[in-house]
Amino acid sequence: MKSLSIYAKLLPDCPGRLIRAAELAMERVRPHWARADELVLINQAKVLRAFQECQVSDIHFAGSTGYAYGDLGRERIEQVFARVFGTEAALVRAQFASGTHAITCGLFGALKAGDRLIAAAGTPYDTLRTVISGAPGSLTEWGVTYEESPLLADGTVDIANVVRLAQQPDARVVFIQRSRGYSLRPTLSVTKIGEIIAAVKAANPGIICVVDNCYGEFTQEIEPSNVGADLVCGSLIKNPGGGIAPTGGYVVGRQELVDRAAARLFAPGIAGEVGANFGINRLILQGLFLAPHVTGEALRGAQFTAALFAELGLSVRPTYDAERYDLVQAVELGTGEGLVAFCEAVQKASPVDAHVRPEPWDMPGYTDQVVMAAGTFNMGSSIELSADGPMRPPYAVYFQGGLTREHVVWAALNAANELMARGHL
Ligand SMILES: *Cc1c(COP(=O)(O)O)cnc(C)c1O
């Protein structure tokens, strides 16, 4: 006789249907987990090579204060990032408060009054909408014209239309968002991003291609900067921080554009020559060292989650067997109650703040109420396991991160159990 399923041991009172779904899901994802081993190894080697070529040493872990002119560690970190991403320059700073802030500095640096900004992949992520227009200090208030190329009916980028928009005489920046954000459109692969860049540059060689790389780092063997992106931006409390970096963001790309982003972050002229590291250099470096592995853990957790909830009858994106280009797993819950129940269960399965109950709230920068579960060591870190979503149809939860695959599996099982107990599954 077969011994008691591991899932029955973990969740003794859960329905048999959940145990069978979990067993099937695990069986299905095993071969995909094995494939992720290769991706992690390739990216680990890439990161190690960069550390070694840049001769990272313990002197680079030293803290700095005040203006922090000539912070050796800060400079070394930026050399390492530039090597990992294959770019001329990098700006990796604690002073970037978030991914949105890094992208904002990149865009304000690249654009001048009278220039046109073109979003290639439909409406950008919620927090970037107010950066573009509708809030004091936005790009359009500053004299930038904005235009969006709507996605095609299947959610893919209308490259012909982006090329047409990029040929206008005032067109200056094409903005490409890799990850889906709070939408169900497919995430762009680096290859697809390369196709878009090649097409717009063939039509307008002077155009600047800026990529929002949030959640995408290390999910593939190459990055958007390897396929012609002029500037690539992201957050250190997502993939490249490895769950260790306590805050910060990065901008990598052409020297001139990175310098202009630094001029926006700090001050023109002073640019990136200042900026104390608050003693987090070691954490940024250790986080980058761990980032390929941690990203692999999160990817495997997302695959299991996709297989589990698909087996239980919900619509998931992407499916467990799809190629992945970011960490985000969307699961359509269909109701606000279902979305909240999912987030509550993930919060309860967290190492930190498991006792608090997430509620939908008017989060700064978002138009709809958002419910967020994040019981994290670094506040709001979404390379650590988090689940969130806007309170709007189809009430999809966006589930991402996880420092260990086991934590993700445990949280997904608990979320499914909770949804069943409340009659949503
Ligand atoms: C997370 C994310 C951002 C930036 O979010 P922050 O919370 O500001 O770091 C930008 N774009 C996308 C697609 C994202 O997923």
233: tokens are 């931006």
Which pLDDT band holds residue 86 (cuts at 50, 70, 90)? Answer: very high
- Given this model, what pLDDT does residue 367 score? 83
Encode pLDDT of 396-425 as tens digits.
999 999 999 999 999 999 999 999 999 999
| Residues 249 and 232: beta-carbon distance below 8 Å | no
Centroid of ligand 1 to alpha carbon of 28 (angstroms)? 30
Asked whether the predicted pLDDT for residue 127 surpasses 50, the reply is yes
Beta strands at 231-235 and 208-212: parallel, antiparallel or unpaired = parallel
Q: CA angle 357-25-191, nearest 5°?
A: 90
Contact 240, 217 (CB under 8 A): yes
With a pLDDT cut of 70, the percent of the chain lying above it is 99
- Measuring from atom 13 of ligand 1, which residue has the nearest CA? 181
**pTM greater than 0.75:** yes
The 10s digit of each residue's pLDDT in 45-81 is 999 999 999 999 999 999 999 999 999 999 999 999 9
Q: What's the pLDDT score for residue 2?
A: 57
| CA 58 to ligand 1 center in whole angstroms | 32
Q: Which residue has the tokens 């909408």?
A: 129
Query: Among the atoms of ligand 1, which is closest to the Cα of residue 365?
Result: 8
Which two structure tokens, joined as six digits, stand for 231?
């500037």
Residue 397 three-state SS: strand
Q: How far is the CA of 214 from the centre of ligand 1 (A)?
A: 6
Asked if 281 contacts 73 with a C-beta cutoff of 8 angstroms, the reply is yes
pLDDT value of residue 3: 64
**Could you tell me which residue, 59 or 5, shows the higher pLDDT?**
59
Distance from residue 99's CA to the centre of ligand 1 (Å): 5
Rounded to an integer, what distance in angstroms lies between the CA atom of residue 321 and that of residue 82?
32
Please give the distance, rounded to the nearest whole angstrom, from the Cα atom of residue 125 to the centre of ligand 1.
7
pLDDT digits (tens, 9 = 90+) for 344-364: 999 999 999 999 999 999 988
The Cα 267–Cα 9 span in angstroms is 58
Q: Is the dihedral of CA 368, 372, 377, 382 positive or negative?
A: negative
CA of 423 to the centre of ligand 1 (A): 32
For residue 177 the two structure tokens come to 């968002």
Which among 95, 98, 127 is the best mutation to test ligand 1's pocket, defined by most ligand atoms within 8 Å of the CB? 127
**pLDDT tens digits along 95-124:** 999 999 999 999 999 999 999 999 999 999
Ligand 1 pocket test target in 212, 239, 398, 399 with most atoms within 8 Å of CB: 212
Average pLDDT over residues 365-386: 93
DSSP letter (8 states) at residue 361:
B
8 Å CB contact between 209 and 174: yes
For ligand 1, mutation pick of 93, 95, 100 (most atoms within 8 Å of CB): 100
Torsion of CA 294, 105, 225, 255, to 10 degrees: -130
> Is 7 in contact with 409 (CB distance < 8 Å)?
no
Mean pLDDT throughout 383-399?
Answer: 95
Q: What pLDDT band is residue 1 in, cutting at 50, 70 and 90? A: very low
Q: What angle do CA 360, 100, 251 make, to 5 degrees?
A: 150
CA-382 nearest atom, ligand 1? 1
List residues near ligand 1 (CB under 6 A): 98-100, 125, 127, 177, 179, 181, 212, 214-215, 235
- Spacing, Cα 257 to ligand 1 middle (Å): 20
- CA nearest ligand 1 atom 1, residue: 214
Instruction: Tell me how long the chain is.
Output: 425
CA of 261 to the centre of ligand 1 (A): 17
Q: Side by side, which strands form the sheet with 231-235?
A: 89-93, 249-253, 231-235, 208-212, 171-177, 116-119, 145-148
* Pocket test residue of 179, 185, 329 for ligand 1, highest count of atoms within 8 A of CB: 179
Asked if residue 208 has pLDDT above 50, the reply is yes
User: 272-315, pLDDT tens digit by residue?
Assistant: 999 999 999 999 999 999 999 999 999 999 999 999 999 999 99
Q: What percent of the chain has pLDDT over 90?
A: 96
Average pLDDT over the chain, rounded to whole?
Answer: 96
Expressed in angstroms and rounded, the spacing between residue 84 Cα and the centre of ligand 1 is: 21
